[in-house]
Structure 1
């Protein structure tokens, strides 16, 4: 997911530095001008003394000079002792006019240009420092996102000795621990599942050796328990493989859902509906996994209803929909998300109803691996419908 330019951390820090320098420059410039005007106002005036030819003082005053109207120089207004006022002018000598600065460099534009040069210098100097820091933060962000998406072997660079490096180091330690725990859990499930197959085999052999003298009820109960354990092991193994990388479950290839669903419906006695004139519906996937999806949905429907079960296929421009419906008690709206959790049973369900609580969880996992989704809906007239949507291309 790309971040908008206005939300990039390095740009916001850089603009904050530049804006701070600009504001400080304007503030100090205003204070400097205020101080210069105050100093000029407090500067004492010049004392002007007028004498006649005899050396007598005819006028004396302390005055501030004024500008000569229409020319360069200064003018002093000095009152005499006889009540008259004399004007003393000090024009500047005629010199060749200095070279005029271009209009864009004359006041007040010269201050604007000076301020711009200062801001540009600060911006060029601050950008590499800010960008270097935020690049490390972006590397942390990308690494955490990759790790969160399932790449548990992802580690962050630990360059430097500051807070960013410390954060990366602590994250790497935590990620290594999580990865080790998950690998240990998968190994335990796989080993336990394989170890359970040996006693199951011995139970089968003992059951066959019991002969006809054993109780039929006991034999049936043992057989049911063996079947349930065998089903649990198969589903645990499949769930473990689905948590691995996609290459561990096979390569996607075109799968004909019409033929696959027809075979599973024939085994369970479910009614099969397909669009008129449709002889095949191809989706990319793994045939054995998609067969497991259809089988689990049909077995789940048969487990919760003694009535009719129907499976229908529908195709749109971009997906194929598998809909398995029954006439059972249905699923309360509050439970329609939780029934896809591993080992979850509806309130009131017992172990004798069959199932180990992994069937619908596997349906959701396999469907998600194929880029689709699954949901539970009400069936008109009573019952439940499980809807699986698979894309026609990946």
Structure 2
């Protein structure tokens, strides 16, 4: 169960539901606050309209007893003079509290005023109603024995008899509060249902979206269990990221299949190459054990050296395949080439050396020397009379060329020659043809140093190998 809850689908559902819940809560609070503000503003407007209507009647000289007052339960109104005496009030209005009005019965003195309030210049003129915004307060009123909250507006007016009075008019807040409460309860009741719908839809949509991923996973599990790299994972028709993941997975499987095939071929070829010198050594040792006088020491040494070189080549290829990277340093390629040529004192054909520049490259000196040595060994093996080695710098790259006057490499074999254990027929006919690993090792080492190697036709008609390495 815990594993199921920790799945991508569960986490996506929980995350989406949490985000929607947060958004709905914020939106709900905003709606409630806006609704409350709107209804409160409407109550203020109703109270002000009622107060100004009554004040206008007083300003035109309407007697207090003849005032047209609204229903007291919805819009309680009372009129008081400057001394706090109640001059008129809505029917059944018993008391007003919390507004600064002295109330209805019994009459109470008006609240204390400051000096500015006592200035008659602030009162409206005879037969006029106070301009500007009214004084708004929230208070309680008791109408016919029922006490409720109201929003009150206070407006002053001066009668034609030059009496300044204050009209207090209220608007019932119960309807507004009921509307806000109803909206709040509706939101609270609908929120869980809406979140359940969001969670369910997210769960189903995520399951549908991840179904191809599960198909890829299941197929990979079967491929891993069976070890059958020929099989491929299904690619959905959606063309989305999952389809691209499936394509990349199939490309990876194809490369693994190719790598496994190369590994099997490498093992088979290595076994074949090791079998010959080992069998030769065994035969010579068995003959020597039976007839010591026939012991061919030189032949044994030659076979041991060949076996040693083959083992070293196989070990180097294994390290390169495993991604082994020795510590690199800046290498002066001209000096390295001169040193390598200087060590080759037993070559059948002297190397014609031409160093036109001394570029520096980043790499491993021993492995770069191995590249030069393998190319010279190959040229020495096939050359008739000429082996040339040159070094120059072109367009930010160090260029090494090794040419000979041998039979050359046919165009059809110029890529195959760099494969492992590949030897052309002429080379295979010779005992000194080697194991077919020299050029493969050279290419792998050059590629590991960020360069490239190609073979073409030399001016002398033989093979021309060109190595390009990035100069520093």
TM-score normalised over the length of structure 1: 0.49
Larger gyration radius, structure 1 or structure 2: 2
TM-score normalised over the length of structure 2: 0.42
